[in-house]
Amino acid sequence: MTDLRPLAWPPAPIKTERLILRESEARDRAAVIELNASPEVGTYLGGPRPRAELERTVPEVPGRRPGFFVVELDGTTIGTIQLDPQDPERPGNRLEAGETELGYLFLPEAWGYGYATEACTAALDWFADALPGEPVVLYTQTANVRSMRLAEKLGFSELERFTAYGAEQWFGVLHKIPGWQSAATSCKDREWPSATSVARTTTS
Ligand SMILES: CC(C)(COP(=O)(O)OP(=O)(O)OC[C@H]1O[C@@H](n2cnc3c(N)ncnc32)[C@H](O)[C@@H]1OP(=O)(O)O)[C@@H](O)C(=O)NCCC(=O)NCCS
């Protein structure tokens, strides 16, 4: 299991063209609850969680762990990005393909502006600099069209599709080279290859 704990954490806030990525703080609690209670956000993630339960269980400072980034736009929290060890309990997981898994949750009002692409690219750049050569894997439902498009823009290559939780799941991997030109700076101007057309990367 890739252990992110030895990494210098938190990093200095990462500034992109429009966003700031930083470690979580107490002021992010409301947004974290909103993300998990939102029916739109939860559509392909097993559904929203009851708000009352979240109010009870979300810690005062949520997501205090290496690899958990809060994404801020003009002082407002709009989403979170997680680089976590793969869950060994996940049905159909492919632990051998890479030990670190990317996850992302953005508030619906922040969808459609390229913020997720911009923020995930910065987080993946940070990860590639911190652990050069270490792959990152991604699971998403194929029905989650926005997430599928994001995976493609980020450069993930499809390894497999399988059924779990009663739905088709997409499993991909990214081997990012440190210093690789960020997709976020140019994704509006480029023709991106489809994830399935990118040469398949061997698992290791
Ligand atoms: C998955 C998710 C992060 C994608 O969000 P998103 O806003 O669609 O993703 P992007 O940041 O790539 O934005 C792309 C859109 O912004 C538009 N856009 C506008 N301005 C842009 C800019 N300056 N740069 C890039 N894209 C821009 C693009 O045209 C595209 O629009 P389209 O969807 O109409 O084609 C979001 O839907 C979400 O949080 N879903 C719920 C959580 C979830 O399912 N997570 C998956 C877990 S693995």
Give the domain CATH number at 133. 3.40.630.30
Give residue 6 CA to ligand 1 midpoint distance, Å. Answer: 32
Q: Is the CB of 171 under 6 A from ligand 1?
A: no
Q: Closest residue (by CA) to atom 6 of ligand 1? A: 111
Q: Extract the tokens encoding 35.
A: 């993300």
Residue 5 confidence (pLDDT)? 60
Question: What is the pTM assigned to this prediction?
Answer: 0.88
The proportion of the chain whose per-residue pLDDT surpasses 90, expressed as a percent, equals 75
| Contact between residue 21 and residue 189 where contact means Cβ atoms under 8 Å apart | no
Domain that holds residue 85: 14-185
The verdict on residue 193 lying in a domain is no
Q: How confident is the model at residue 176 (pLDDT cuts 50, 70, 90)?
A: confident
Total number of domains in the chain: 1
CA of 14 to the centre of ligand 1 (A): 20
Does the residue 203 lie in any domain? no
Between the ranges 48-57, 87-96, 171-180, 185-194, where is the mean pLDDT highest?
48-57
Terminal CA-CA length for the chain: 13
Query: Is residue 114 assigned to a domain?
Result: yes
